[in-house]
Structure 1
Amino acid sequence: MRRRTATLWIIGFLLLAAWAGWDLVPGELSGTPGRADLEGRVVRVVDGDTVRVRLEGREETVRYIGVDTPETKRPGRAVECFGPAASAANERLVEGREVRLEVGEEERDRYDRLLAYVHRADDGRFVNEILVREGYARPLAIEPNVRHADAFATLADEALEAGRGLWSVCER
């Protein structure tokens, strides 16, 4: 009788978990743990790896995960080599467009910016990846947001070998 009661409790719990949508099996098969994609419109490009996005009636500053473009707006510092070109490329890719944001496992950085992988909503192009592939950004792996770190490193190596973007004019 005890075994049957325990079995019924376990089955009941699993049914409740399934009904509630709980993710009991973390990892790739279950998608991004605990994260829903967000959609919004880019209202302003801040620089090569940061944008302002209108999400559900509010604006959020979004910092791209896994990439680092040369600086253009750091107070007290000179504009870095290829910074304006990286900002212009980001504008061409996303300014005024609808985007889908995959929020990182760590959702915010120390400046309270939302951390995300960014995809254009209309054609699905992966903006973070494009910036690295075309030589506008270097890979930047910061735990725990490292899902695409290996791919970004490979793309950066290819851009370096081909002399694309910043790799053609900036010191390494």
Structure 2
Amino acid sequence: MPSNSQLFSMLSKNKRNLPVFLLLILTIFLFSVGIMPSETEKTPKESQVLSSTDFKDGQLYKVSRVIDGDTLEIENNGSFQKIRLIGVDTPETSDPRKEIECFGVEASNKSKELLEGKQIRLESDPTQQNKDRYERLLRYIYLEDGTNINLYLIAEGYAHEYTYDKPYEQQVEFIKAEDDARKQENGLWNNSICNYE
């Protein structure tokens, strides 16, 4: 970019450059006051994703979509955030690197039936990280009536109990729910459907 003295010298030598000079000055001014967009600004789609601190425990959020049995997306005032259920692992349906696992479609459909378009309450766990490596919030999910979806999916045989890195607050309850589901042959524990033995 030419210096101010070069611009004035160029302007004084050739009067035809006056409109170009004025346009350049106007453009610099508009960038400096923030009227014109800069290359570093986020696109509208990127700006619609709020930070994890914008999604508070205890508040109700609308489920915009269920990605699979243990992952969903919530919406808050036009912004979206993916959520991964703590302590839960449903059979795989959405990982393109893996085959669809036994009872995966049923687990995904049950999560859709329970959650899509519904209001849910989030609850974090102080023993767990806020987000996983895929930037999904790690949370317990509750329906408006108080139903713990994480526990429900395990107890009804739609999911396995899953401890990722370290124990979580509801781990003992989730392990017991899985043992009971296995004994009762609920869902994926029914040997005529899936054989996990």
Query: Would you call these one fold, judging by a TM-score over 0.5?
Result: yes
Runs (4 or more) in structure 1 with deviation over 6 Å come to none
CA RMSD of aligned residues (A): 1.5
Q: Number of paired residues?
A: 137
Residue 93 of structure 1 pairs with residue 114 of structure 2: yes
**Higher RCO (C-alpha under 8 Å, 6+ residues apart):** 1
Query: TM-score of the superposition, structure 2-length normalised?
Result: 0.66
How does the TM-score come out when normalised to structure 1?
Answer: 0.75
Task: Name the structure with the higher strand share.
Answer: 1
Contact 2:57–2:121 (CA<8 Å) still a contact in 1? no
Q: Which residue of 1 aligns with 2:82?
A: 61
Amino acid at match of 1:80: E
Unaligned runs of 5+ in 2: 1-55
Matches within 5 A, 1:7-46: 36-46=57-67
Counterpart Cα distance in 2 of 1:140 and 1:131: 12
Contact 2:125 2:139 in 1 (8 A): yes
Give the unaligned 5+ runs of structure 1. 1-34
Candidates 153, 165, 169, aligned match of 1:147: 169
2: CA distance, partners of 1:149 / 1:57: 34
Question: Identity percentage over the alignment?
Answer: 38
User: Rg larger in 1 or in 2?
Assistant: 2
Distance in 2, matches of 1:104 and 1:140, equals: 14
Residue 114 of structure 1 corresponds to 137
C-alpha separation in 2, matches of 1:83 and 1:63: 16
Partner of 2:194: 170
The answer to whether structure 1 residue 104 and structure 2 residue 125 are counterparts is: yes
1:77 is displaced (CA, Å) by: 1.5
SS of residue in 2 equivalent to 1:100: strand
| 1:40 and 1:56 in contact (8 A); partners too | no
